[in-house]
């Protein structure tokens, strides 16, 4: 594997990881907001 291939592989992995982390973060935020709404409603 040459330098160019390593850079391309690293970029692909970073894009995959970034999208995964974004999904986890957004899902956690939505989940927390739902619990906050339930707490305000007395639930």
Q: How do residues 3-24 score in pLDDT, each as one tens digit?
A: 999 999 999 999 999 999 999 9
- 7 located within any domain: no
Domain membership of residue 12 (yes or no) is: no
41 pLDDT tier (thresholds 50, 70, 90): confident
Domain holding 40, by residue range, is 19-43
| Rg, the chain, Cα only | 18
Residue 35 belongs to a domain: yes
Enter the pTM of the model: 0.65
Q: Report if residue 33 sits inside a domain.
A: yes
What's residue 38's pLDDT? 79
Domain presence at residue 39 = yes
How many domains, the chain?
Answer: 1
Per-residue pLDDT at 43? 59
Phi and psi at residue 41, to the nearest 5°: -80, -5
For residue 23, being part of any structural domain is answered with yes
Asked, for residue 31, whether it belongs to a domain, the answer is yes
């Amino acid at each position: 594997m040459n330098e160019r291939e390593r850079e391309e592989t690293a970029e692909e992995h970073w894009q995959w990881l970034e999208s995964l982390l974004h999904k986890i973060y957004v899902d956690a935020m939505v989940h927390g907001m739902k619990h906050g709404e339930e707490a305000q409603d007395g639930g």
